[in-house]
A and B are shown apart, each in its own frame.
Chain A
């Protein structure tokens, strides 16, 4: 917003003067009457006339300083540029062929404001900084305002995020910075100072400015302001580059105001500001097309091999989806790839199309023994891949498995075009009634909320779980047969698991083996006879129904939007309290890849040659039209308190819709 009147005043002054009897009549019209230097003005003396009808010649004194600025000529109009600030009374002298003379002085001064303080950014989000960006440069709004990336990738390959150094490393790096242009102000007095300010303080801590020319550092983090020379600004546009060192978070909404102020002798000559905002990081949901599946291939028995699962995943992977092997030795067999990161991206308008930077959330697990902590930060980091890390490994509720994304939907009259972020946590205590509370830490939740595009974050009760993650309860999967809401919620159901066992017992098959050949091998009747286990599962079902109830209310879902799958739970004790984990493989903890689901094999009781829990799962998921493949995760994941989803992570295609388009 300009704080002084910068808009050009249009208008004209006309003076008609006859100096003496017989002299011609001199008339002078000047327009405009005000504006910022350099101001182009037109002096028009064409209304001058000679009663005797002789031809006239004209000369002009544009700035009224007493000296003629033009030679005599027959041109009655003269265009000139007023370079300096001030009030100027233009004059014209009209002469007839026989030497009679008249002079006219403009009755009103042309007021020229000294400095053009003008800074532009890509306010209209077309990827280019030009004159079309000049209006509504601030405040930043959903409809207008420039955006920039957090420069968290590594274009120079030094193993550090680019924002970590105080340099623009190369042209690729420069592309991650937002262009700003301080417009030329030729009329700026040489003695003037040109100050560029970064505000507010929270933003100054998180951005850095460079001059494009030579990528010269200009204003460093926390610098607050810098000076350009009057000469630079008089001679031409000065291009700047804004680097996002931070991202939106709990303490900064991502907005930064850049102001150019021109001063001379303590007088503010002009000031202009533009507001930019760091782009939100978007986390695609599981119904988006998969591009890459991360999984650890573990062949070493000492580390707890997962050959069966890995091989099934690779051989059954839909065409076009890459499998990314996470090294077993580099990361000590830490197989919980889901927990270590949330895949996402940042995107801003760019010349010729949007510019995308993958931007994962590093959700560090507190293994303390060299697990996946460095996968994102060291291995995946590259020229188009960056990451945010909020710290906070003190609770497993911070991990990636506890962060899910609902697909796009509308609820309560509110549209969620990029879906909605969901996390687990709560104060509801344990299943057996001990008071207990746990949440994702404030820093990480604040970061998620600050992205706004997929918020507000919804918290659902998971504090009663041993690991504490949403994917221990439900996941979203595509539904190929529904147009309006092409997805469903696959949700664990102890009631369904028990129902199948009761059905078999009713058929006289209480002796049917469950988890055959496994260390946990048991029978239908043994499970049903374990009253503590049954009571615990009935309470777990109630907890899950509470989560389902909240999903239904907040997302306006119906029963038809859920697909129940049979899963039984069991208690574990930590710190004297009970916490729940899956007793049978958590079927809902599956891997959705395009039109296929890799589903944990529940290894349930056999009925007529088929696994009853598998069969029920297949029947319930049939309506989705998805291809289903059961995979062996029993020893390699399930007994280690996780399942298939926990052991994988997926990079999805970004949303087609841009966050800045209505």
Chain B
């Protein structure tokens, strides 16, 4: 199995060799160069981190002996992989290459790895190992903000032959790269009227991870357009994520405040027209997360507006209480 991975990485490395002649003449990680760039980096990383590949091939979260002990006894590697990449124990290039090669030759569990009593669920779990590894790799790659990330993840996002679950994770992982290419790709999905609703929702969530003024502006715009409850819910949560008061703490205070204010006001408007309970709940949660006092008066006005349905007014009261609690906490 290791040999297949070796083959895979060799293939990617070969791309690098092929592109090496022109590598000097083009920008790194461009649409044209990213594969050869990846191959070149992979070679260097493998040399610098000799144990990394081995580590990647024995993730705890894919070992039945480990994951069957969990309270949720299923494979899952997203946090483990993120940690390994963030700490440099596994280079992002290796993660990217494994995704490019479609997990080729990865030593997933075989039926023999499962206790006799678990044979019935072994097939499901083995299938899940593959899905979970792919999800974990995508998220770790996105978080790494590696040069290849938006290319690799974008390709998965737009590949209609892939499963929706995989493409959903790709959208979120893309957002985690926080680069302009990702924002453009996610915006394309959101603008595509033929795109599946779940994918649009995931792309909104991805946009929420970017946390730039432009991504917030895009989300504000989408919050006004969103009519489907699932999209209202997604855009509300994304606004809460993008303009989270805790997440923006380290950003420029003025910029962060503008982002939060814009998000807060958009969320109040969304709350006023959200019919669905889940969408309204997500909006209230997001208002709390954004925790901007600009929403306070608007919510109070909404609560007092007798022309509004009682349900909307009640939600405004709840949102206002939650906002006040958040502001009080922040003051502490």
Binding site for B on A (CB under 8 A): 302-304, 332-336, 339, 365-370, 396, 401, 427-435, 461, 466-467, 495, 498-499, 519-520, 528-529, 531-532, 534-539, 541-543, 545-546, 549, 570-578, 640-642, 646
20 A-B contacts (beta carbon < 8 Å): A369-B68, A369-B114, A428-B281, A429-B282, A430-B237, A432-B237, A432-B241, A433-B238, A433-B241, A532-B176, A535-B211, A537-B246, A539-B286, A542-B288, A545-B322, A549-B322, A574-B132, A575-B165, A640-B69, A640-B71
Tell me the complex Cα distance, A302–B115, Å: 14
What is the CB-to-nearest-CB distance from B299 to chain A, in angstroms, rounded to a whole number? 15
Interface hits, B236-282 → A, CB 8 Å = 236-238, 240-241, 244-250, 277-278, 281-282
B139 contacts the other chain (Cβ, under 8 Å)? yes
B233 contacts the other chain (Cβ, under 8 Å)? yes
> Which of chain A's residues have a CB closer than 8 A to the CB of B131?
575
Contact of B289 among A336, A339, A539, A570 (CB under 8 A): A539
Given A396-B72, A573-B169, A642-B71, are A541 and B288 neighbors across the interface (CB < 8 Å)?
Answer: yes
Given A535-B241, A574-B76, A641-B70, are A546 and B284 neighbors across the interface (CB < 8 Å)?
Answer: yes
Extra pairs beyond A432-B172, A549-B318, A571-B79 (10, CB < 8 Å): A432-B237, A434-B205, A520-B83, A528-B249, A535-B289, A542-B326, A543-B285, A573-B132, A573-B136, A576-B135
B332 contacts the other chain (Cβ, under 8 Å)? yes
Please choose the segment from B51-59, B103-111, B117-125, B182-190 that sits at the chain A interface, where 4 or more of its residues have CB less than 8 A away.
B117-125
Given A435-B230, A573-B139, are A368 and B168 neighbors across the interface (CB < 8 Å)?
Answer: no
A369 touches B121 (CB 8 A): yes
B143 contacts the other chain (Cβ, under 8 Å)? yes
Tell me the complex Cα distance, A14–B237, Å: 93
B217 contacts the other chain (Cβ, under 8 Å)? no
B208 contacts the other chain (Cβ, under 8 Å)? yes
B321 contacts the other chain (Cβ, under 8 Å)? yes
Tell me the complex Cα distance, A415–B78, Å: 46
B42 contacts the other chain (Cβ, under 8 Å)? no
> Which of chain B's residues have a CB closer than 8 A to the CB of A543?
285
> Which of chain B's residues have a CB closer than 8 A to the CB of A467?
71-72
Tell me the complex Cα distance, A520–B83, Å: 8
Contact of B168 among A401, A434, A498, A642 (CB under 8 A): A434
* Closest chain B residue to A298, Cβ basis: B69
Given A304-B69, A545-B325, are A572 and B79 neighbors across the interface (CB < 8 Å)?
Answer: yes
Given A433-B238, A546-B281, A640-B71, are A576 and B165 neighbors across the interface (CB < 8 Å)?
Answer: yes
What is the CB-to-nearest-CB distance from B87 to chain A, in angstroms, rounded to a whole number? 10
B329 contacts the other chain (Cβ, under 8 Å)? yes
> Which of chain B's residues have a CB closer than 8 A to the CB of A401?
71
B237 touches A431 (CB 8 A): yes
B322 touches A433 (CB 8 A): no
Tell me the complex Cα distance, A223–B281, Å: 51
B209 contacts the other chain (Cβ, under 8 Å)? yes
Which residue among A427, A432, A572 has the maximum number of chain B CB atoms within 10 Å of its CB?
A: A432
* Closest chain B residue to A522, Cβ basis: B83
> Which of chain B's residues have a CB closer than 8 A to the CB of A549?
318, 321-322
* Closest chain B residue to A502, Cβ basis: B249
Tell me the complex Cα distance, A30–B273, Å: 84
Tell me the complex Cα distance, A304–B278, Å: 39
Given A549-B322, A577-B168, are A434 and B211 neighbors across the interface (CB < 8 Å)?
Answer: no
> Which of chain A's residues have a CB closer than 8 A to the CB of B176?
532
Given A370-B115, A538-B246, A576-B164, are A432 and B208 neighbors across the interface (CB < 8 Å)?
Answer: yes
Contact of B202 among A434, A495, A641 (CB under 8 A): A434
Which residue among A333, A365, A370, A577 has the maximum number of chain B CB atoms within 10 Å of its CB?
A: A577
B157 contacts the other chain (Cβ, under 8 Å)? no
Tell me the complex Cα distance, A461–B282, Å: 12
B277 touches A427 (CB 8 A): yes
> Which of chain A's residues have a CB closer than 8 A to the CB of B72?
396, 466-467, 574, 641
Mask of B141-179 contacts with A, CB within 8 angstroms, 1/0? 001000000000000000000001111110010001000
Interface hits, B38-72 → A, CB 8 Å = 65, 68-72
* Closest chain B residue to A553, Cβ basis: B318
What is the CB-to-nearest-CB distance from A468 to chain B, in angstroms, rounded to a whole number? 8
B129 contacts the other chain (Cβ, under 8 Å)? no
B78 touches A542 (CB 8 A): no
What is the CB-to-nearest-CB distance from B199 to chain A, in angstroms, rounded to a whole number? 10
> Which of chain B's residues have a CB closer than 8 A to the CB of A432?
172, 205, 208, 237-238, 241
A646 touches B209 (CB 8 A): no
What is the CB-to-nearest-CB distance from A332 to chain B, in angstroms, rounded to a whole number? 7
> Which of chain A's residues have a CB closer than 8 A to the CB of B73?
365-367, 369
The secondary structure that dominates the B interface is helix
B117 touches A368 (CB 8 A): yes
Closest 4 CB pairs of A and B: A433-B237, A576-B165, A369-B118, A542-B285
A571 touches B78 (CB 8 A): yes
Tell me the complex Cα distance, A433–B281, Å: 10
A429 touches B278 (CB 8 A): yes
Which residue among B70, B143, B205, B246 has the maximum number of chain A CB atoms within 10 Å of its CB?
A: B246
Tell me the complex Cα distance, A529–B118, Å: 42
> Which of chain B's residues have a CB closer than 8 A to the CB of A573?
76, 78, 132, 135-136, 139, 169
* Closest chain A residue to B202, Cβ basis: A434
Number of interface residues of B (CB under 8 A): 73
Given A367-B73, A433-B205, A576-B169, are A532 and B118 neighbors across the interface (CB < 8 Å)?
Answer: no
* Closest chain B residue to A339, Cβ basis: B71
Which residue among B69, B135, B321 has the maximum number of chain A CB atoms within 10 Å of its CB?
A: B69
B234 contacts the other chain (Cβ, under 8 Å)? yes
* Closest chain B residue to A469, Cβ basis: B71
Given A431-B237, A534-B249, A538-B244, are A368 and B118 neighbors across the interface (CB < 8 Å)?
Answer: yes
> Which of chain B's residues have a CB closer than 8 A to the CB of A531?
211, 244, 247-248, 250
> Which of chain B's residues have a CB closer than 8 A to the CB of A303?
69
Tell me the complex Cα distance, A137–B208, Å: 65
Tell me the complex Cα distance, A575–B329, Å: 34
Tell me the complex Cα distance, A430–B329, Å: 24
> Which of chain A's residues have a CB closer than 8 A to the CB of B13?
none
Which residue among B120, B211, B234 has the maximum number of chain A CB atoms within 10 Å of its CB?
A: B234
Which residue among B72, B136, B282 has the maximum number of chain A CB atoms within 10 Å of its CB?
A: B72
Tell me the complex Cα distance, A491–B168, Å: 32
Mask of B279-312 contacts with A, CB within 8 angstroms, 1/0? 0011011101101000000000000000000000
> Which of chain B's residues have a CB closer than 8 A to the CB of A642?
70-71
Contact of B247 among A367, A370, A532, A640 (CB under 8 A): A532
> Which of chain A's residues have a CB closer than 8 A to the CB of B126?
none
* Closest chain A residue to B121, Cβ basis: A368
> Which of chain B's residues have a CB closer than 8 A to the CB of A461?
281
Given A428-B281, A431-B237, A545-B288, are A572 and B69 neighbors across the interface (CB < 8 Å)?
Answer: no
What is the CB-to-nearest-CB distance from A305 to chain B, in angstroms, rounded to a whole number? 11
B90 contacts the other chain (Cβ, under 8 Å)? no
B37 contacts the other chain (Cβ, under 8 Å)? no
* Closest chain A residue to B251, Cβ basis: A531
B201 contacts the other chain (Cβ, under 8 Å)? yes
* Closest chain B residue to A642, Cβ basis: B71
Which residue among A333, A401, A531 has the maximum number of chain B CB atoms within 10 Å of its CB?
A: A531
> Which of chain A's residues have a CB closer than 8 A to the CB of B246?
498, 534-535, 537-538
Tell me the complex Cα distance, A577–B69, Å: 22
Which residue among B73, B245, B284, B322 has the maximum number of chain A CB atoms within 10 Å of its CB?
A: B73
A539 touches B165 (CB 8 A): no
What is the CB-to-nearest-CB distance from A301 to chain B, in angstroms, rounded to a whole number? 11
B247 touches A538 (CB 8 A): yes
> Which of chain B's residues have a CB closer than 8 A to the CB of A430?
237
B95 contacts the other chain (Cβ, under 8 Å)? no
Which residue among A302, A303, A466 has the maximum number of chain B CB atoms within 10 Å of its CB?
A: A466
> Which of chain B's residues have a CB closer than 8 A to the CB of A396?
71-72
> Which of chain A's residues have a CB closer than 8 A to the CB of B172?
432, 578
Tell me the complex Cα distance, A429–B118, Å: 30
Given A427-B277, A641-B72, are A369 and B286 neighbors across the interface (CB < 8 Å)?
Answer: no
Tell me the complex Cα distance, A574–B67, Å: 13
